[in-house]
Amino acid sequence: MTDPVSRTILLLDIERYSDRDDVEQAYLRRMLYGITDRTLTVAGVDETSRQRADRGDSVMELIEASVSVTALLRTLLTEVPAQLRTVNRMASSSAQIRLRGVLASGYVAIDEREGWVGSDLNHACRLLDATVLRAALRERGDDFALCVSESLYQGIVRHDHHGVPAAEFHRVELDSKNGTLTAYLHGPVTRMPDAENPSPATGSTDTGVRATAPDTPAAAPGASYNFSGGSQSFGGSLVNGDQNILSGGTVTGDVVLGTKNTGDRS
């Protein structure tokens, strides 16, 4: 395994991909990768400065630390929504594409099978599949919902750089089996029933976003929320703490993202 190196982690995932037929899925994949490529080009990310993992309904990019994260985040907030509007304006209802996104930073290593290894990567994948992010996209009128990791918020967003308004990001907390994961959601947070009060219809406790206690110090200009959930998955594979590999099999340690898998995802 290589020594871990610092990378910016970008994840983009298509909403309701598995609801489409094969022809529609192929079209959506083309749109996803076209949007990703054009956005990174506008952000000044050269092809030699990025590595891509194809996850079927999702794309994962590892971007070299030399690339400006501020410029990348600023571009994500403007370019992705603009491109989605352009694409969807000409698409039929069955071919509409809506995206969830996560931008994070951390250390990633590559194993002997060219798999990507790292707890920071594991964290980012959990955020991408979090119910709070899914709910935000589902309830919004636009076609893009973005979440950033706590480290990226602290290093970039909270400083209120031009084009990256800190007041538009709201702290959310995802309860996982490995502890609480903190992230920051861009835009309004969908308020769902308290996780401790199951839904009358399902009895599930995996749907709650709740505000933190009033005396908890606010870490962000916006509101702070807590989301309680169970195991999370990325691209159809379980990310449930240590011993889980997205490409199949098990290991002891951090999650490993392996070779390409273009199977169906939910």
pLDDT digits (tens, 9 = 90+) for 41-99: 999 999 999 999 877 788 999 999 999 999 999 999 999 999 999 999 988 888 899 99
In a domain, 113, yes or no: yes
Total length of the chain: 266
pLDDT digits (tens, 9 = 90+) for 17-41: 888 889 999 999 999 999 999 999 9
What pLDDT, on the 0 to 100 scale, is given for residue 208?
37
In a domain, 235, yes or no: yes
In a domain, 266, yes or no: no
In a domain, 108, yes or no: yes
What pLDDT, on the 0 to 100 scale, is given for residue 128?
93
In a domain, 174, yes or no: yes
Residue range 221-242: mean pLDDT, rounded: 45
pLDDT reading at 265 higher than 50: no
In a domain, 263, yes or no: no
The whole-model pTM stands at 0.73
Q: Report residue 16 as tokens.
A: 């309701």
pLDDT digits (tens, 9 = 90+) for 140-154: 888 999 999 999 999
For the chain, how big is the Rg over CA atoms in Å? Answer: 18
Q: Report residue 36 as tokens.
A: 């990703």
Give percent of the chain with pLDDT exceeding 70: 70
What pLDDT, on the 0 to 100 scale, is given for residue 175?
74
What pLDDT, on the 0 to 100 scale, is given for residue 33?
95
pLDDT reading at 232 higher than 70: no
What pLDDT, on the 0 to 100 scale, is given for residue 20?
87
pLDDT digits (tens, 9 = 90+) for 97-151: 999 999 999 999 888 777 788 889 999 999 999 989 999 999 988 899 999 999 9
What pLDDT, on the 0 to 100 scale, is given for residue 198?
39
pLDDT grade for 249, boundaries at 50, 70 and 90: very low
CATH number of the domain residue 126 falls in: 3.30.70.1230
pLDDT digits (tens, 9 = 90+) for 183-197: 999 998 876 544 433
pLDDT reading at 236 higher than 60: no
- Residue 12 is part of which domain span? 5-255
In a domain, 262, yes or no: no
In a domain, 261, yes or no: no
* 251 compared with 167, residue with greater pLDDT: 167
Long-range contacts of 59-62 (CB under 8 A, 24+ apart): 59/11, 59/12, 59/32, 59/33, 60/9, 60/10, 60/11, 60/116, 60/257, 61/9, 61/10, 61/11, 61/36, 62/7, 62/8, 62/9, 62/108, 62/116
Number of domains in the chain: 1
Least confident of 81-90, 152-161, 226-235: 226-235
